[in-house]
């Protein structure tokens, strides 16, 4: 017959010596200094400045000049239709600043983007490409 023997193990507890917190605080601690280099400032060349400050220059036809020192230019561009790929003509109208009121209806002109001069006006006249006959 088999006998059921239970083996028991005795766990021994080790004595832990506690050091006072004050002694731990007085112990020297090594502090490593980490020196990081600051990133160098990017220098801007003259060519880069011209590229950054480039403003849009658009060419179109004057369709209205009835306002004082203001005209309306119509820009036409050809864009392929996104689905059917047929070339479609799209037109956009912008108000532009004409300081000397020198534009007339039908003139082909160039305008340049500028700071907002009014609610709708943020282009200025650069030059008249072709006067109407």
Structural domain span for residue 75: 66-130
Count of CB atoms situated within 10 Å of the CB of 66 = 8
Residue 48 lies in a domain: no
Residue 88 belongs to a domain? yes
Assess if residue 61 is contained within a domain.
no
| Residue 37's pLDDT band (cuts 50, 70, 90) | confident
Rounded Cα distance, 90 and 81, in Å: 10
Residue 52 pLDDT class (50, 70, 90 cuts): low
Structural element, H or E, at residue 48: helix 46-52
The domain spanning residue 117 has which CATH number? 2.40.50.140
Does position 1 have pLDDT exceeding 60, yes or no? no
Q: What is the pTM of this model?
A: 0.59
């Amino acid at each position: 017959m088999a006998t059921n023997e239970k083996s028991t193990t005795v766990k021994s507890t080790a004595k832990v010596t506690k050091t006072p917190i004050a002694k731990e605080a007085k112990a020297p601690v090594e502090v490593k200094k980490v020196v990081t280099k600051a990133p160098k400032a990017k220098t801007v060349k003259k060519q880069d400045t011209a590229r950054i400050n480039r403003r849009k220059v658009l060419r179109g036809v004057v369709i209205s000049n009835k306002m004082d020192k203001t005209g309306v230019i119509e820009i036409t561009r050809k864009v392929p239709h996104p689905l059917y790929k047929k070339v479609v003509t799209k037109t956009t109208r912008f108000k532009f600043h004409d300081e000397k009121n020198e534009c007339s209806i039908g003139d082909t002109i160039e305008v340049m983007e500028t700071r907002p001069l009014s609610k709708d006006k943020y282009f200025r006249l650069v030059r008249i490409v072709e006067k109407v006959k």
